[in-house]
Amino acid sequence: MNLPKLILASGSPRRSEILNFVGWEFEKQVADVDETEFPGEKPADYVKRLAIKKAAAVAGSFGNNFVLGADTIVVIDGEIIGKPVDLDDAGKMIRKLSGRWHEVLTGVAVIRNSNTAVEVQETRVKFKKLDDNEIEFLVNQGEPLDKAGAYAVQAQAALFIEEIEGDYWNVVGLPVNLVYRLVRENL
């Protein structure tokens, strides 16, 4: 089976790692897009819009190639939790997630020529109730600043996650099965 080469419109090291894990050849072209939320925008609409914008920002230079754009967010109580601005903000985010379910949404867009396919993958995650020492551990050891929700499921946060409903790779940062399906459907 031959997977077509992807153009990854993302600077995310986790997305690159996932594509490397599955042996998918890709070239990275970081897309510079405004990620400001629109007033009243629903979380799923937000990640779809950003995924399309990221892919479209570089697609013009790669006509017949598959260009992949993605955006991942954490949502709790309908509120988008982005990346923390500093360690204090990371602690607040982790405290909010403690003992509760939340959703991880990733918008995935694949553009080839002028055809665009886009979907959203949702995964539910539940943290155990964290004490102050555990929160401090995640803030100081978990490298939270470049991660939506201030945690990495594949690192220290794994100690505290009780349940996952849905695609694990989505929580890491790229639902690679969805990417595969979108590419196969648009060959």
The residues with which 10 forms a beta bridge, in sequence order, are: none
Radius of gyration of the chain (CA): 17
Q: Tell me phi and psi for residue 116, to 5 degrees.
A: -125, 130
The residues with which 79 forms a beta bridge, in sequence order, are: 76
Distance between CA 151 and CA 169 in Å, rounded?
14
Strands (E), the chain: 6-8, 26-28, 66-76, 79-81, 101-112, 115-127, 161-165
Which residues are part of the catalytic machinery? 71
- In the numeric block, which tokens belong to residue 42? 């629903």
Distance between CA 43 and CA 45 in Å, rounded?
5
